[in-house]
Amino acid sequence: MTGGAREKVLAGSGAFGIFDDELERVRGLLKTRVNADRDNLEKGLAQLVMTLVELLRQLMERQALRRMEGGTLSPEEVERLGRTFMALSERMDELKDAFGLTDDDLNLDLGPLGNLI
Amino acid sequence: MTVYLYAICSADAPAPPWLAERGLRYVERSGLAAVVGDEPGDLTAPSEEDLWAHEQVVESLMDAHDLLPARFGGLLRSDEEVWSLLDERSAELRRALDNVRGAVELAVRAGWRAEPDRRGDARSTGSEYMADYASHDARARALAECLDDAVSALARDKSVRVLPRRLSAVTGAYLVDTPRVEDFRRRIERLNDELSDAEIVCTGPWPPYSFAGDASR
Mean local confidence (pLDDT), B106-113: 88
Residues of A in contact with B188 (CB under 8 A): 10-12
Instruction: Tell me if chain A has a CB within 8 Å of the CB of B206.
Output: yes
Say whether A79 and B125 touch across the interface (CB within 8 A): yes
Q: How far apart are CA A86 and CA B35, in angstroms?
A: 50
What is the pLDDT at residue A112? 46
**Shortest CB distance from B201 goes to which of A12, A30, A69?**
A12
Q: Identity (one letter) of the amino acid at A74? A: S
A31–chain B nearest CA distance, Å? 9
Residues of A in contact with B127 (CB under 8 A): 75, 78-79, 82
**pTM for the full predicted model:** 0.79
Tell me the pLDDT tens digit for each residue of A39-62. 567 777 888 888 888 888 888 998
Residues 91-120 of B with CB under 8 A from A: 106, 109, 111, 113, 118-120
Q: Identity (one letter) of the amino acid at B217? A: R
Three-class SS of residue B160?
A: strand
What does the mean pLDDT of chain B come to? 88
* pLDDT of B195 higher than 60: yes
* pLDDT of B216 higher than 60: no
Mean local confidence (pLDDT), B37-60: 84
**Shortest CB distance from A112 goes to which of B119, B128, B213?**
B213
What is the pLDDT at residue B103? 96
Tell me the pLDDT tens digit for each residue of B61-70. 999 999 999 9
Cross-strand partners of B158: B174
What is the pLDDT at residue A84? 93
pLDDT band at A34; cut points 50, 70, 90: very low
Say whether B188 and A86 touch across the interface (CB within 8 A): no
Q: How far apart are CA B216 and CA B174, in angstroms?
A: 16
Say whether A64 and B130 touch across the interface (CB within 8 A): yes
B137–chain A nearest CA distance, Å? 9
A vs B, Cβ pairs < 8 A, gives 120
Q: How far apart are CA A52 and CA B69, in angstroms?
A: 30
CA A42, A44, A50, A56 torsion-angle sign: negative
Mean local confidence (pLDDT), B101-105: 95
Mean local confidence (pLDDT), B78-100: 93
Q: How far apart are CA B93 and CA B8, in angstroms?
A: 8
Residues of B in contact with A30 (CB under 8 A): 46
